[in-house]
Structure 1
Amino acid sequence: MDASTTKRVLLLGKTGVGKSSLANTIFGETIFQINHLSGSKNHSTQAETKSIHGRSLTLIDAPSFFDAGSSKEVMKPEIVRCTTECAPGPHVFLIVLKVEKFTEQERAVITNILDFFSEDALKYAAVVFTHGDQLPEGVKIEEYVSQSEGLSDLVKKCGGRCHVVDNKYWKTDEDDYRSNQFQVAELVKTIDNIVVDNEEGFYTNAMLQEVEKAIQKEEERIKRSSGNMSQDEIRKQAVGNVFKMMTDNSPRRWMKGLAALAVIAGILAALAHILIDSNVGKAITEATLIEQIVTPIATVVEEITEKVPEVSESVGGIVETVTDVIQPTVETPPTLDFFDICSDLFERIYDPWNPFE
């Protein structure tokens, strides 16, 4: 299958709502492993690709790290796995809920999802209800949703997109509303519409973009020594390698974090020095920048890379970022706020996978 035309669909929801079963229902066969242990945290991210109704879809069944009370430290590997599987970003989010009362627990799960991504993600989302047998006879899902203020608000934010399936009972091939075959066909149309509405784009954020850069870099490395591996095989191996790197807590990784902090400390100290000591209204010249910022930073970099050679590449990237940040200050009055500059630097070089996060 052509990866460039495959649409990534991320299934989100709390433990026990039937995400894995929904994925199997969409694909029409049992591909995803179903965890029948209620409340179990052993469920891992699964991703599979298949052609359905003439479209290539990758379904990514995310673990329930959005459950209230889930330990971020314990779930971090699965968060990383989910992120690497859907990088550079999902085309569609399917928020999976049961046909049941919309309680504070469900509200908390939605809040956790939006905190992790953002409310912008809802422009790419649809709500899918499972356990459709609980839907009163003759009642459509839109009518059911309208009876709950919380559900109505959520579905409205998702562009009014909602569907219902029943992974256990709606097994008939009849072309009517209470049929998985009918509902899946409608859901695939909704996926198409979401992609079109977003101009063939996908949801992304800074974290997903950084993960994708790492994957592409690993793909290039694999290509140079892969022999006759296909692009799909290369991508799969690259994703796996990046996942391992991101969850590696070896001493070398800790040294990288320490080196990065040392560089940042040197950068901020140099910036503080020039901003505090410069006369108000006096232009900051390129010579001043070289003397008071570039040279001190270069000294710090040299000391770190001499002691820890393997961090030279990541340190070099930080230095390039600093150059981008300070360049606009050349030949301009030093009226910039020091804390704004520090904040900008932090946003540019912050690594969410750094052990010092």
Structure 2
Amino acid sequence: RTLNKQNLNTERIVLLGKTGTGKSSLANTIFGETRLKINHFNDSNACLSQSETKTVDGRSLTLIDTPGFFDPSRSEKLEHEMLSCITECAPGPHAFLIVLKAEKFTEHEKAVIAQLCEYFSEDVLKYTAVVFTHGDQLPEGMKIKDFVNESEALSDLVRKCGSRCHVIDNKYWKNNQEDEYRSNKFQVAELLNSIEDIVTENNGGYYTNEKLQTLETEIQKEENRVRKSSENLSQEEIRKQAKVNIIKRHMENAQKSWLKYFVGFAIITGLFAIVSLPKVWGPPPQGGAKQLQGGRGVKRGKKQTKKKKRLDTASTGRPHKRSAGDEA
């Protein structure tokens, strides 16, 4: 992991969380207007991140709304979703927002955090704030830090994130003038301050790793190709098109790799099945044939001995005995 101070004119912020936690609505609340599609990822075919950029309180913010990461129903699309996410935030995000509902912190939420750290690294939490939605579910007079302290697991998570946690309500706190704390305007201002603290604490840089840096290099090369073929596009449009091309190319390569693996596996499985088939119409094993033949031979020998004895007895009427004359 390295820190970078390039492209600081716009702060890139990634929103992570399960489907239905209110990530898209949170982005729109921060922007102060509807810029991202709500329920964008309810379509089972949608698996790409969406991003929008706007100046908020004098700062240029790019909010990257991700699909429902780590949802069990979306596990087969996770690689595509992660590719889309890191392409949108390349060369790296200045901050991550883990979006949770203000309700019980379950084992599944714990797994989300574990997978986040596994995919990026434990250092990612240094660039992270926790944002709770559905703030109206908090008991009257309770603040979000009081809610967090009721759960050991939540307390541990927020502590690892520099004790940065906030709460909003995209539905009921839009124009709340009676209680300043239960006001989206107040909470968004506090959240923006936390994002600024994250950038400052990390020396003005952003989170990155080798994968993100490699992807950024690839995007820049693609930008040059787009620029040559489309001279009338702005730099923003060129970069957007370059990202689309990169995602499409990686997905096509992934599908080709999967197909090769499937065909190879099918061939190997078929050969194994053929080799393992019993030889129903062929001759019996040689060892078994010999054993049978040997057994018949012994049995036939015994019958012949008994037959010879019967013949000897029949010719004399009694068993043959040698006499003294015979000895002479």
Task: Tell me the TM-score normalized by structure 2.
Answer: 0.72
Query: Partners of 1:235 and 1:41 in 2: how far apart?
Result: 24
Equivalent residues of 1:19, 1:96 under 8 A apart: yes
Q: CA deviation at 1:223?
A: 2.7
The residue number in structure 2 matching 1:172 is: 175
The residue number in structure 2 matching 1:330 is: none
Q: CA deviation at 1:198?
A: 0.7
Alignment of structure 1 residues 23-62 onto 2, 5 Å: 23-35=27-39, 42=46, 44-62=48-66
Residues 45 and 154 (structure 1), Cα distance of their counterparts in 2 relative to 1, 3 Å cut: same
Residues 250 and 157 (structure 1), Cα distance of their counterparts in 2 relative to 1, 3 Å cut: closer
Counterpart of 1:82 (choices 68, 78, 85) is 85
Alignment of structure 1 residues 175-190 onto 2, 5 Å: 176-190=180-194
Residues 6 and 147 (structure 1), Cα distance of their counterparts in 2 relative to 1, 3 Å cut: same
Query: Partners of 2:45 and 2:28 in 1: how far apart?
Result: 20
**What secondary structure, in the 3-state scheme, does the structure 2 residue paired with 1:29 have?**
coil
Matched, 1:146 2:153: no
**What secondary structure, in the 3-state scheme, does the structure 2 residue paired with 1:22 have?**
helix
Residues 38 and 226 (structure 1), Cα distance of their counterparts in 2 relative to 1, 3 Å cut: closer
The residue number in structure 2 matching 1:248 is: 252
Matched, 1:22 2:26: yes
1:46-81 CA distance string (max 9 Å, x none): 100011111100000111132246424x33322211
Matched, 1:101 2:104: yes
Residues 243 and 41 (structure 1), Cα distance of their counterparts in 2 relative to 1, 3 Å cut: closer
Equivalent residues of 1:92, 1:124 under 8 A apart: yes
Amino acid at match of 2:104: K
1:17-57 CA distance string (max 9 Å, x none): 11111111111111211118879674641100011111100
The residue number in structure 1 matching 2:215 is: 211
Amino acid at match of 1:149: E
The residue number in structure 2 matching 1:270 is: none
Q: Alignment RMSD, CA only?
A: 2.4
Q: Highest Rg: 1 or 2?
A: 2
Amino acid at match of 2:109: E
Equivalent residues of 1:68, 1:109 under 8 A apart: no
Query: Partners of 1:222 and 1:206 in 2: how far apart?
Result: 24
Task: Tell me the TM-score normalized by structure 1.
Answer: 0.66
Equivalent residues of 2:15, 2:65 under 8 A apart: yes
Equivalent residues of 1:35, 1:43 under 8 A apart: no
**What secondary structure, in the 3-state scheme, does the structure 2 residue paired with 1:248 have?**
helix
1:262-298 CA distance string (max 9 Å, x none): xxxxxxxxxxxxxxxxxxxxxxxxxxxxxxxxxxxxx
Matched, 1:115 2:98: no
Amino acid at match of 2:244: G
Residues 242 and 35 (structure 1), Cα distance of their counterparts in 2 relative to 1, 3 Å cut: same
Identity, in percent, stands at: 60
Matched, 1:5 2:9: yes
Equivalent residues of 1:16, 1:39 under 8 A apart: no
Q: Which region of structure 1 is more displaced relative to structure 2, 75-84 or 223-232?
A: 223-232
1:299-345 CA distance string (max 9 Å, x none): xxxxxxxxxxxxxxxxxxxxxxxxxxxxxxxxxxxxxxxxxxxxxxx
Query: Partners of 1:159 and 1:177 in 2: how far apart?
Result: 21
Query: Partners of 2:72 and 2:202 in 1: how far apart?
Result: 31
The residue number in structure 2 matching 1:296 is: none
Equivalent residues of 2:127, 2:198 under 8 A apart: yes
Please list every run of 5 or more consecutive structure 2 residues that lacks an aligned counterpart in the other structure.
Answer: 1-5, 262-328
Residues 250 and 119 (structure 1), Cα distance of their counterparts in 2 relative to 1, 3 Å cut: closer
Residues 237 and 43 (structure 1), Cα distance of their counterparts in 2 relative to 1, 3 Å cut: closer
Equivalent residues of 1:3, 1:232 under 8 A apart: no
Equivalent residues of 1:19, 1:61 under 8 A apart: yes
Equivalent residues of 1:68, 1:108 under 8 A apart: no
**What secondary structure, in the 3-state scheme, does the structure 2 residue paired with 1:32 have?**
coil
* Structure possessing the higher relative contact order (Cα contacts under 8 Å, 6 or more residues apart): 2
Query: Partners of 1:247 and 1:84 in 2: how far apart?
Result: 12
Equivalent residues of 1:45, 1:82 under 8 A apart: yes
